[in-house]
Amino acid sequence: MCNRKRLIFVTHNLGIVAKMCDRMAVMYAGKIVEQGAVRDLFRAPKHPYTQALLGSMPKLGSKEPLYAIPGHPPNLAQLPSGCAFHPRCAHAMPQCVTRDPDDHRVGPNCKMLALGSANTGGICQRHCLSCRI
């Protein structure tokens, strides 16, 4: 019998995630957009939403104004076309409005939703290129 216990935290508090969790899945508009080991996602987030989320965390002692992701969370009953994050994404391109992102492996234990990949020259190439495989 396995004695290992598993807990799933659903939270917006990334400090708790950093302290308590081994793995992390970042969701946007009801979909997992990036998942992997907590230390990997905190050190080198690949998906623009993960990057923006981590960039909006307060830093102790910093006098910099807090970064805020532009726009508003989408209406889940009327999601934007293509990538649901495109109206708020700093890296959005015209294809993001019409194409649905796919799952891509970006590390031994990490996946993210993106259009194309480093191998196919897709439009999320700039994120996938930082992959450490």
**Which chain residues interact with ligand SF4 by CB under 6 A?**
48, 83, 85-86, 89, 91-92, 96, 101, 114-115, 124
Q: How far is the CB of 14 from ligand SF4 (least distance, A)?
A: 19
Q: How far is the CB of 71 from ligand SF4 (least distance, A)?
A: 12
**Whose Cβ is closer to ligand SF4: residue 9's or residue 98's?**
98
**Whose Cβ is closer to ligand SF4: residue 38's or residue 69's?**
69
**Whose Cβ is closer to ligand SF4: residue 17's or residue 50's?**
50
Q: How far is the CB of 44 from ligand SF4 (least distance, A)?
A: 16
CA 38/CA 61 separation, integer angstroms? 23
- Pairing verdict, β 23-28 and 31-37: antiparallel
- Using an 8 Å Cβ cutoff, are 117 and 101 in contact? no
Cα–Cα distances (Å) from 7 to 10, 27, 50, 79, in that order, read: 10, 17, 22, 30
Q: How far is the CB of 104 from ligand SF4 (least distance, A)?
A: 10
The whole-angstrom distance between residue 86's C-alpha and the CA centroid of its chain comes to 13
CA 53/CA 74 separation, integer angstroms? 16
**Whose Cβ is closer to ligand SF4: residue 23's or residue 91's?**
91
